[in-house]
Amino acid sequence: MGKLRQTALILGEGPTEFFYFKSLCDVFKRLTIKPDYPKHTNIKEMDAKIAEGVAMGYNHIFCIIDMDTKDKEPERSQYQKLKAKYAKPIDKPKKGIYCEVEFFETHRCTELFFLYYFRYTSRPYETQESLLKDLNQSVEYQKT
């Protein structure tokens, strides 16, 4: 009898996420990252990639979402609809499909990395403004 495998698909939304996951290949030699070029995606493309992953039989799909681009409408409401669409697991036993989609939201994660680099802190940041204020005390930083 064949052994069941758990499979996971990680969908990174932009270039920063792509380079982070690509760096994991140095540690996990059998890891393959696709696509092999970074680009920002929109909500429609993300939805299509999730649907494609479900159809391919992945058990878990992890979506790494850069919240910097979700601050304003219409992106914010489109993203909320996408999250609601995949809030419950996709369970189609007749087709042999069971998939859980999870969203991991990053907001100014690069800035937080820089802050950790320049000084030790365990302070939680509820807003990006307070994070940027602390970061600018250590180094002049502008997001461009």
pLDDT of residue 2: 44
- Which pLDDT belongs to residue 37? 59
Block means of pLDDT (10 residues each) for the chain, length 144 residues? 65 70 74 61 88 90 82 90 96 91 80 80 82 86 67
Task: Report the b/e string of 108-128 with b at 16+ CB within 10 A.
Answer: bbebbebbeeeeeeeeebeeb
pTM above 0.85, yes or no: no
Question: Alpha carbon 81 to chain centroid distance?
Answer: 16
Would you tell me how many other CB atoms lie within 10 Å of the CB of residue 135? 22
pLDDT at 90: 95
- Closest Cα partner for 120 from 130, 128, 110, 112? 112
